[in-house]
Amino acid sequence: MAKIPHRLYLTEDQMPKQWYNLRADMKEQPDPLLHPGTHQPLPEEALYPIFCEKLAHQELDGKTRYIDIPEPILDMYKLYRPSPLCRAYNLEKALGTPAKIYYKFEGNNTSGSHKLNSAIAQAYYAKEQGLKGLTTETGAGQWGTALSEACAYFGLDLKVFMVKVSYEQKPYRKAVMQTFGADVTPSPSNTTEAGRAILAHDPNTGGSLGCAISEAVEMATTQEGYRYVLGSVLNQVLLHQSIIGLESRQAMELLDEYPDIVIGCAGGGSNLGGLIAPFMRDKLTGKADPRIIAVEPASCPSFTRGKYAYDFCDTGHVTPLARMYTLGNGFMPASNHAGGLRYHGMSPILSKLYHDGYMEATSVKQTDVFDAAVQFAKVETILPAPESSHAIRCAIDEALKCKETGEAKTILFGLTGTGYFDMSAYEAYHNGTMRNHVPTDEELQTGFDTLPGQPE
Interface residues with ligand PLP (CB under 6 A)? 113, 139-140, 142-143, 232, 265-272, 340-341, 385, 387-388, 416-417
- The smaller minimum CB distance to ligand PLP, of residues 267 and 328, is found at 267
- The smaller minimum CB distance to ligand PLP, of residues 97 and 302, is found at 302
Q: Distance (Å, rounded) from C-alpha 54 to C-alpha 58?
A: 6
Write down the least CB distance from residue 389 to ligand PLP, Å: 9
Q: Distance (Å, rounded) from C-alpha 280 to C-alpha 359?
A: 9
Positions of E strands within 12-146: 18-20, 66-68, 85-87, 100-105, 133-138
Q: Distance (Å, rounded) from C-alpha 290 to C-alpha 410?
A: 10
Write down the least CB distance from residue 268 to ligand PLP, Å: 4
Cβ-proximal residue to ligand PLP, closest one:
340
Write down the least CB distance from residue 200 to ligand PLP, Å: 28
Long-range residue pairs from 215-218, CB within 8 A, at least 24 positions apart, any chain: 215/137, 215/161, 215/185, 215/187, 215/188, 215/189, 215/191, 215/316, 216/135, 216/136, 216/137, 216/159, 216/160, 216/161, 217/50, 217/135, 217/314, 217/318, 217/319, 218/192, 218/193, 218/194, 218/316, 218/318
Write down the least CB distance from residue 340 to ligand PLP, Å: 2
- The smaller minimum CB distance to ligand PLP, of residues 318 and 383, is found at 383
Closest CA to 347 of 274, 243, 413, 443: 274
Positions of E strands within 239-286: 261-265
- The smaller minimum CB distance to ligand PLP, of residues 112 and 131, is found at 112
Write down the least CB distance from residue 46 to ligand PLP, Å: 24
Distances (CA, A) of 187 to 214, 327, 342: 10, 21, 15
- The smaller minimum CB distance to ligand PLP, of residues 133 and 340, is found at 340
Write down the least CB distance from residue 113 to ligand PLP, Å: 4
Distance of CA 2 to the CA centre of its chain: 35
Write down the least CB distance from residue 230 to ligand PLP, Å: 10
The answer to whether residues 411 and 100 touch, using CB atoms and an 8 Å cutoff, is yes
- The smaller minimum CB distance to ligand PLP, of residues 30 and 267, is found at 267
- The smaller minimum CB distance to ligand PLP, of residues 216 and 402, is found at 216
Write down the least CB distance from residue 402 to ligand PLP, Å: 25
- The smaller minimum CB distance to ligand PLP, of residues 42 and 238, is found at 238
Going 45 to 320 to 152 to 248, the CA torsion angle's sign is negative
Residues 6+ apart with CB under 8 A from 202: none
